[in-house]
């Protein structure tokens, strides 16, 4: 039996607790893998907590995820449904993921919400409050 199989239950539980936090920090780094078709793969790290033991009730969790791409689907697939804040280094897919998940968390259909935002912003409006998901009724 492989160790990855043995550790799957505790890792799944850590992911569940991670997704329950209000903030997750994430970053990825290129990783050269010998037996991989692509030149670069990526190791992502997802973490939450205080970075110090016993300072608060927030659990300190650090999880790694290996992917062969930087696609926006990678954090979506790894985190699943997460309705908190995902803090990243500015990678566009994380921004898109945050907007989509926030829309879902507020009962909106992401496509409809994005179309509403694009139309609002394209009209030159600078009133951001008007497009926050909790201020919109698209029904």
105 part of a folded domain: no
118 part of a folded domain: no
Residue 94 has pLDDT above 70, yes or no: no
Of residues 107 and 56, more confidence is placed in: 107
Domain residues for the domain of 59 are 3-89
Q: Which of 90, 69, 105 is nearest to 26 (CA)?
A: 90
Tally of domains within the chain: 1
7 part of a folded domain: yes
Distance of CA 79 to the CA centre of its chain: 6
The pTM assigned to this predicted structure is 0.60
φ and ψ of 135, to 5 deg = -105, 10
94 part of a folded domain: no
106 part of a folded domain: no
Distance of CA 80 to the CA centre of its chain: 8
State the Cα–Cα distance between residues 106 and 98, nearest whole angstrom. Answer: 12
119 part of a folded domain: no
H runs (alpha helix) in 58-109: 73-79, 92-105
Q: Which of 45, 64, 50 is nearest to 21 (CA)?
A: 50
16 part of a folded domain: yes
24 part of a folded domain: yes
Do 97 and 60 meet the contact criterion of CB atoms below 8 Å apart? no
Helix (H) and strand (E) counts in the chain: 4, 4
| Positions of E strands within 49-135 | 61-67, 85-87
The mean pLDDT value for 105-109 works out to 84
- Residue pLDDT, tens place only, 31-81: 887 776 767 789 999 988 766 666 667 788 899 999 888 887 888 889 888
Q: Which of 4, 63, 68 is nearest to 31 (CA)?
A: 68
């Amino acid at each position: 039996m492989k160790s990855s199989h043995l550790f799957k239950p505790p890792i799944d539980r850590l992911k569940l607790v991670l997704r329950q936090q209000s903030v997750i920090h994430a970053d990825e780094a290129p990783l050269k893998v010998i037996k991989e078709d692509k030149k670069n793969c990526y190791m992502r790290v997802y973490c939450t907590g205080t970075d110090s033991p016993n300072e608060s009730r927030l659990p300190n969790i650090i999880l790694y995820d290996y992917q062969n791409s930087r696609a926006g689907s990678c954090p979506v697939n790894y985190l699943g449904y997460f309705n908190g804040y995902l803090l990243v280094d500015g990678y566009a897919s994380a921004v898109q993921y945050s907007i989509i998940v926030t829309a879902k968390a507020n009962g909106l259909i992401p496509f409809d919400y994005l179309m509403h935002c694009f139309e609002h912003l394209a009209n030159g409006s600078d009133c951001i409050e008007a497009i926050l998901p909790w201020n919109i009724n698209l029904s």
